[in-house]
C-alpha cells in the first residue's frame, strides 16, 4: 500500500499504542482521524502529528456508546471524504470471576473491546473503496490466544476480536482490503504496567506502531492475518 496522503482512523489515539501509531503514520504523510475519550490528550497528539504536515481531526468520543458511531463516520466523511485505514485500538481491562465481579464493568468491557469494533468497522467499510487499497487493523491482546484465572471477560472480548477479524478477512479480501489482528504481550502503557514488571523489558508502543507500518507496506499479494508480538526477554522482575 502506498501510504502518502491516505486517511487513517485510529481509536484509542490519545495515549499509549494509539498515540504511537498516530505519530508513526503521520510520519508517513497519512492524514488522521483520531478518536478517544480524553479531548485534551487528543489535542496534544494531534498537535504532535500536525508537525509532519498532515491533516488531523479529533473526535472526542466514548465508543462504548455504539449509537454514536454512525454520526462519527459521517463526520469523518465530511472532513476527509474517504478512508483507507481503520485501526481498532480502543480498549479497557476488567477482571473478576463468576463469583466476584462487577457486571457493569464487564458489560462496559464487552461494549468497548468488542461491540465497538464491529459497529465501527461496519460503518467504516462504507468509506473504504474497493478501488483503493484498504486495511483494517484490530489490536487484540495475547489474552486473545490464551486464558487465565480472573480473565473471563477480558479474554472473552479479545478472543471475540480474533474470531471477528478472521471472518472479516474472508468477507473483504476480494475488495482489496487487508485485515489483521495483532496480539501483543505486555506493553509498556498505563494499562499494561505493573509493580512486578520491568518496563524496559516490556514491548514498547513504538514496537506496535512499527508493526502496523510494516503490515500496511506488505505487497497486495499477501496478508498477515494474525501477528503475535511477545517481549523478547521476560518482563517479570
Query: What secondary structure, in 3-state letters, does 42-111 show?
Result: HHHHHHHHHCCCCCEEEEECCCCCHHHHHHHHHHHHHHHCCCCEEEECCCCCCCECCCCCCHHHHHHHHH
Distance (Å) of CA 26 to CA 52, 186, 210, 237: 6, 25, 12, 35
- Which residues, including other chains, have CB under 8 Å from residue 221's CB and lie 6 or more apart? none
Three-state secondary structure call for residue 25: helix
Cα separation, 116 vs 109, whole angstroms: 10
219: which DSSP letter? -
Q: In what order do the strands lie in the sheet with 226-229?
A: 56-60, 31-36, 7-11, 85-88, 134-139, 177-184, 226-229
Q: Which domains does the chain have, with CATH numbers?
A: 7-229 (3.40.50.720)
Q: What cell was used for 165?
A: 477479524
Q: What cell was used for 190?
A: 498505563
The predicted model scores a pTM of 0.96
Cα separation, 170 vs 167, whole angstroms: 5
pLDDT in single tens digits along all 237 residues of the chain? 889 899 999 999 999 999 999 999 999 999 999 999 999 999 999 999 999 999 999 999 999 999 999 999 999 999 999 999 999 999 999 998 889 889 999 999 999 999 999 999 999 999 998 767 899 999 999 999 999 999 999 999 999 999 999 999 999 999 999 999 999 999 999 888 988 999 999 999 999 999 999 999 999 999 999 999 999 999 999
Cα separation, 14 vs 60, whole angstroms: 9
Set 59, 118, 154, 186: catalytic member: 154
148 as an active site residue: the answer is no
Characterize the bridge pairing of strands 85-88 and 56-60: unpaired
Amino acid at each position: 500500500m502506498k501510504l502518502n496522503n491516505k486517511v487513517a482512523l485510529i481509536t484509542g489515539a490519545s495515549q499509549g499504542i494509539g498515540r504511537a501509531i498516530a505519530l508513526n503514520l503521520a510520519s508517513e504523510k497519512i492524514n488522521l482521524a483520531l478518536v478517544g475519550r480524553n479531548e485534551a490528550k487528543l489535542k496534544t497528539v494531534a498537535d504532535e502529528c500536525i508537525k509532519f504536515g498532515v491533516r488531523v481531526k479529533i473526535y472526542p468520543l466514548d465508543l462504548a456508546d455504539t449509537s454514536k458511531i454512525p454520526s462519527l463516520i459521517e463526520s469523518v466523511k465530511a472532513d476527509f471524504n474517504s478512508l483507507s485505514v481503520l485501526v481498532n485500538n480502543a480498549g479497557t481491562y476488567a477482571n473478576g470471576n463468576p463469583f466476584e465481579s462487577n457486571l457493569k464493568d464487564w458489560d462496559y468491557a464487552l461494549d468497548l473491546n468488542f461491540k465497538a469494533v464491529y459497529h465501527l468497522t461496519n460503518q467504516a467499510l462504507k468509506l473504504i473503496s474497493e478501488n483503493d487499497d484498504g486495511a483494517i487493523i484490530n489490536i487484540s491482546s495475547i489474552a486473545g490466544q490464551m486464558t487465565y484465572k480472573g480473565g473471563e471477560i477480558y479474554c472473552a472480548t479479545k478472543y471475540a476480536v480474533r474470531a471477528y477479524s478472521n471472518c472479516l478477512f474472508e468477507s473483504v479480501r476480494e475488495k482489496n482490503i487487508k485485515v489483521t489482528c495483532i496480539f501483543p504481550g505486555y506493553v509498556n502503557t498505563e494499562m499494561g504496567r505493573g509493580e512486578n514488571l520491568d518496563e524496559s523489558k516490556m514491548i514498547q508502543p513504538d514496537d506496535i506502531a512499527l508493526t502496523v507500518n510494516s503490515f500496511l507496506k506488505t505487497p497486495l499479494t499477501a496478508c498477515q492475518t494474525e501477528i503475535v508480538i511477545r517481549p523478547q526477554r521476560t518482563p517479570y522482575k
